[in-house]
Structure 1
Amino acid sequence: MAQTRILLGVIGRPHGVRGLVRVVSYADDPASLVAYGPLSDDKGRRLRLAWRGDGIAAVTLLSDAGPVAVADRDAAAALVNTRLYVERDRLPPPDEDEYYVTDLIGLAAEDEAGRPLGRIRAVHDYGAGVSLEIAADGAPPLLVPFTRAAVPSVDLAAGHVRVHPPRVLAATEDAPTDAATVSLAEDAA
């Protein structure tokens, strides 16, 4: 079942003493956080951002009683680590071969022969490229680069991805426990 809200950013530390905050945007275009209209947080509160500089925003909390601007550093500090969501139906559909992260989490991962490898537990992007973390019961997690070579097929409707697992380095059994030696593991096929 598709999530109804998509995480688009997180409020960071305060900037100055007048209620401004740093905002980390997960959108391709940070301006879209304003363009999509009111955002919501994990508690269901509605917020509106107004950019004041590169990654710096003013926040207004929206409620039935009316809007309340975050006007001082203490109020801004109370918002640190607030996740910012937008309703999925306000977002454009992803382009071909693009996916919302939330759509990948939980998909079954299978090797090219259809054998189960586990489920996608997380999607990581540390700057050098996106990786899928695949977890199976009782096995250490497998990190796979999210490239066409390593993940040749994604089928959201069927609920799975096909993965060409990378060759794995395994510690040699006869090596001392503090040794850094590794050997190339044999293929499972």
Structure 2
Amino acid sequence: MEDRLILMGVIGKPHGVRGQLRVHCYGEDPEVLAEHVLADAKGRRFTLEWAHDNVAWIDELSNGAQRRIADRDDAARLTNVELFLPRSALPEAEEEEFYLADLIGLDAHDESGKVIGKVGNVLDYGAGASLELSPGGRLIPFTKASVPQVRVADGYVVVTPPLEVDAKEAGE
């Protein structure tokens, strides 16, 4: 599996006038963000040092140099920047656990074992994750009822779409 980037947090609003920023961590342990070099979608690289709670000092790394974000205006320009880590930087998942990003690219089987597509994306807008199957963009709620088996090591998930999804796809 290629070393894809995993969204681990997002920079929020400036905190104070000396360049500190709020950082929202999407992982279980915010310290992970301080232990690694982070990247944004444009390829810029950052390190952070937690000041307190969800507030951090951020340094931008460029051409071998490290520059601390030291004023509110520079900090404000980083608001809403997403912070990524390579998948290889994250610890291995425990037995019967997995990262949602590891589902992308897995085959999707129906209950009989027939391949019905691939997991093209995992979407989560706050009300629970959904698997987007390709081709076609079919959305399957990521629940135990709709995805009863996840076999990352074997390269597939078993999908049993809810009746509402099947009826909608059939045009009923």
Q: Secondary structure at the match of 2:98?
A: coil
Matches within 5 A, 1:3-152: 3-34=3-34, 36-127=35-126, 129-137=128-136, 141-147=138-144, 149-152=145-148
Q: Secondary structure at the match of 1:102?
A: helix
Tell me which amino acid in the other structure corresponds to 1:168: E
> How far apart are the structure 2 equivalents of 1:127 and 1:4?
23
Q: Does the 8 A contact of 1:109 with 1:118 survive in 2? A: yes
Paired residues, number = 169
Q: Does the 8 A contact of 2:10 with 2:24 survive in 1? A: yes
Q: Does the 8 A contact of 1:3 with 1:103 survive in 2? A: no
Q: What is the Cα deviation at residue 60 of structure 1?
A: 0.7
Larger radius of gyration: 1
Q: What is the Cα deviation at residue 37 of structure 1?
A: 2.4
Query: Structure 1 residues 74, 20: CA separation in 2 closer, same or farther (over 3 Å shift)?
Result: same
> Which position in structure 2 is the counterpart of 1:177?
none
Q: What is the Cα deviation at residue 127 of structure 1?
A: 4.9
Tell me which amino acid in the other structure corresponds to 1:85: F
Q: Which moved more, 1:86-95 or 1:22-31?
A: 86-95
Tell me which amino acid in the other structure corresponds to 2:146: A
Q: What is the Cα deviation at residue 90 of structure 1?
A: 2.7
Please give the TM-score of this superposition, normalised by the length of structure 2.
Answer: 0.80
Q: Identity across aligned pairs (percent)?
A: 46
Greater share of helix: 2
Q: Does the 8 A contact of 2:140 with 2:161 survive in 1? A: no
Superposition CA RMSD, Å: 2.6
Unaligned runs of 5+ in 2: none
Query: Structure 1 residues 5, 127: CA separation in 2 closer, same or farther (over 3 Å shift)?
Result: closer
Q: Does the 8 A contact of 1:132 with 1:146 survive in 2? A: no
Query: Structure 1 residues 117, 16: CA separation in 2 closer, same or farther (over 3 Å shift)?
Result: farther
> How far apart are the structure 1 equivalents of 2:31 and 2:56?
11
> How far apart are the structure 2 equivalents of 1:155 and 1:145?
14
Q: What is the Cα deviation at residue 55 of structure 1?
A: 1.8
Q: Secondary structure at the match of 1:13?
A: strand
CA deviations 1:71-106 (Å, max 9, x no partner) are 122211222232212233332101122222221123
